[in-house]
Amino acid sequence: MGKYESLGQYLELHGVNYVKDTHVRELSWIKIGGRIKHAIYPESLDELVSLIGALREYGIFFRVFGNTSNCMFLNSEKYGVFIFLKKLRGINIDSSTGIVVAEGGVNLSVLSRKAVALGLKGFEGMVGIPATVGGAIFMNAGSFDCEIQDVLESVTYLDLDSLTIKTIAVEALGFSYRSSAFLRKQINGIILKGTFRCERENPEVLKLRMERAIAQRKEFQEKKTANLGSLFATKDIYGAIAKHHRGYSFVLHMYRRSCFRLKKHFGIDLSDNKVLNAITQLYFFKRFEKKVFSDKTLNCFVNDSNTDEDFFELVNWIRGLTNGELPLENEIVNSLEGDEIND
């Protein structure tokens, strides 16, 4: 019996939730991605841990995801096994001590809203990040003056080298801007739970901050079309390009000055960057055949009937303009080395 057949039997026998022989584009946030053999959705930590043991026994490689809101998949790839943790949604909040324990699949926006309602500080800026707790810890997600590392106390994870459950303090996770020991592969593990400690604050104050963050997101974030948030780790993609091109730097300066004046004197708001995007393409003699980036920013790939090739065309163009200086924030997911998915 082939290893995937054995896995199928295991999943049936243990009543584990899964989808077989489908396309990643049906499951992924960005709606792009080739065939996949098994997408598995464990519903408890015990089910997950047993499943990993079985996958090890059958010699099957796998990848773990939350909402895939930071991941670009490839249409030509044939993927093997993905484990999605979004059904691990347990939350325990002790509002008197400010201690919050959340499983890896908990939706960060849901957790943030609960914390705000209970007067627990530190999550209010993160409402609107379409992450799970595991995915957010993995890359130290954050926005509007709130970052996961600021409220995190410890992480419980399944160590994939020893297959044991370990708890590690936040200080040992080496967090930096959009990075952690998990992302840098210094720890090979699945994040099962995060334990957070929040200070107390008047819920009304937190609610106001949360609403401000939501309003700002509406203004700056692509809403209409499937996307993965920021492509590159920068708050100002145009400024990053201008650093390398003197003439463009002048054009950008003049454009921003004109925008300021138009808004001040005539109330005309060009903050959605549609005009600046057109100017930038004209300046660099670039024309995309399709709509590949958001009107709100060049730094956001949108899937408007696009493919992974369109994604790479945009990424390579921006890389060229910025001398490859900016780290790519979105993750490109290849099929797993050594995984024989034709089995």
Ligand X SMILES: Cc1cc2nc3c(=O)[nH]c(=O)nc-3n(C[C@H](O)[C@H](O)[C@H](O)COP(=O)(O)OP(=O)(O)OC[C@H]3O[C@@H](n4cnc5c(N)ncnc54)[C@H](O)[C@@H]3O)c2cc1C
Which residues of the chain form contacts with ligand X (CB under 6 A)? 63-71, 85, 104, 129-132, 134-136, 138-139, 141-143, 182, 190-191, 221, 227-229, 331
Would you say 115 and 135 are in contact if contact means Cβ atoms under 8 Å apart? no
Could you tell me which of 295, 311, 292 has the C-alpha nearest to residue 222? 295
Torsion of CA 275, 281, 284, 286, to 10 degrees: -170
Q: Which is nearer to ligand X, 92 or 97 (CB)?
A: 92
Kindly give the pairing relationship between strand 189-197 and strand 152-159. Answer: antiparallel
Q: Is 220 helix (H, G, I), strand (E, B) or coil?
A: helix
* Type of residue at 42: P
Q: Which is nearer to ligand X, 150 or 331 (CB)?
A: 331
How far apart (Å, rounded) are the C-alpha atoms in residues 284 and 139? 33
Q: Which is nearer to ligand X, 137 or 321 (CB)?
A: 137
Q: Which is nearer to ligand X, 8 or 174 (CB)?
A: 174
Quote the least distance from Cβ 38 to ligand X, whole Å. 16
Q: Is 328 helix (H, G, I), strand (E, B) or coil?
A: strand
Scanning the chain, the segments in alpha helix (DSSP H) are 3-13, 24-27, 45-58, 108-117, 133-138, 148-151, 203-220, 237-242, 246-266, 274-283, 308-321
Number of Cβ atoms within 10 Å of the Cβ of 106? 26
Quote the least distance from Cβ 29 to ligand X, whole Å. 6
Quote the least distance from Cβ 44 to ligand X, whole Å. 14
Structure tokens at 250: 């002048």
Quote the least distance from Cβ 67 to ligand X, whole Å. 3
Q: Which is nearer to ligand X, 222 or 248 (CB)?
A: 222
Q: Which is nearer to ligand X, 85 or 206 (CB)?
A: 85
Quote the least distance from Cβ 182 to ligand X, whole Å. 6
Q: Which is nearer to ligand X, 98 or 142 (CB)?
A: 142
Number of Cβ atoms within 10 Å of the Cβ of 148? 26
DSSP state, 80?
E
Q: What angle do CA 9, 13, 17 make, to 5 degrees?
A: 90
Quote the least distance from Cβ 78 to ligand X, whole Å. 18
Quote the least distance from Cβ 96 to ligand X, whole Å. 28
Q: Which is nearer to ligand X, 119 or 130 (CB)?
A: 130
Could you tell me which of 155, 197, 198, 159 has the C-alpha nearest to residue 174? 155
Q: Which is nearer to ligand X, 80 or 119 (CB)?
A: 80
Q: What angle do CA 87, 101, 192 make, to 5 degrees?
A: 50
Quote the least distance from Cβ 3 to ligand X, whole Å. 21
Structure tokens at 154: 């410890």
Quote the least distance from Cβ 295 to ligand X, whole Å. 14
